[in-house]
Amino acid sequence: MLYNERDVRHEHVIECAKQMMTAARTAPKAKGVDLIEVMLVTGEDMGRGGLMRDADNIMSAEAVVLIATREEPMMLNCAYCGSATCGERPAGVPCAMNTIDIGIAVGSAVATAADLRLDTRVMYSVGYAAGKLGWMPDCKYIIGIPVSASSKNPFFDRKRKVVQQ
């Protein structure tokens, strides 16, 4: 049997994106508490709710991996959030450990993508749009990673917006 890369690329990218999801899941977490949620978005759903600045990037992707964390203080009294103790942390101020956990999960996912020679870009705006769509309702912090396998990475060399003064 003969396979042309162009004919199997999409299914290969989806399988690689699934490996990125596993990498995010298995990333180390504060106190071993897993608050990470991971979702794969493909097809028509990718065009919903994106910010205008990033719409072209998302439509150039074959998939988007969403990595999020639920918010739960780790009760370490580390003061990374700015409060001396977890009990003194004001409502609405994120637990720094949750933020660190999502960063490690995102790093593991994009490292996996790099190992598999996929093009990616970490985008807060994509996560923001996913949150507005209610895709991960229990999560406060969501990061989106569009994924592509093409001749040139479509997520860089973006046109700059000209600000009128």
> Phi/psi of residue 97, each to 5°?
-65, -35
Residues 6+ apart with CB under 8 A from 83: 89, 90, 93
pLDDT at residue 49 is higher than 90: no
For Cα atoms 13, 153, 63, give the angle at the middle one, nearest 5 degrees: 30
The confidence score (pLDDT) of residue 57 equals: 76
Q: What is the pLDDT of residues 73-126, one digit of tens each?
A: 999 999 999 999 999 999 889 999 999 999 999 999 999 999 999 999 999 989
Q: What are the structural domains of the chain?
A: 5-148 (3.40.109.10)
Residues 6+ apart with CB under 8 A from 23: 105, 108, 109, 111, 112
Average pLDDT over residues 2-31: 96
Please choose, from the candidates 3, 7, 15, 2, the residue with its C-alpha nearest in 3D space to the C-alpha of residue 113: 15
Q: What percent of the chain has pLDDT over 70?
A: 92
d(CA 73, CA 93): 10
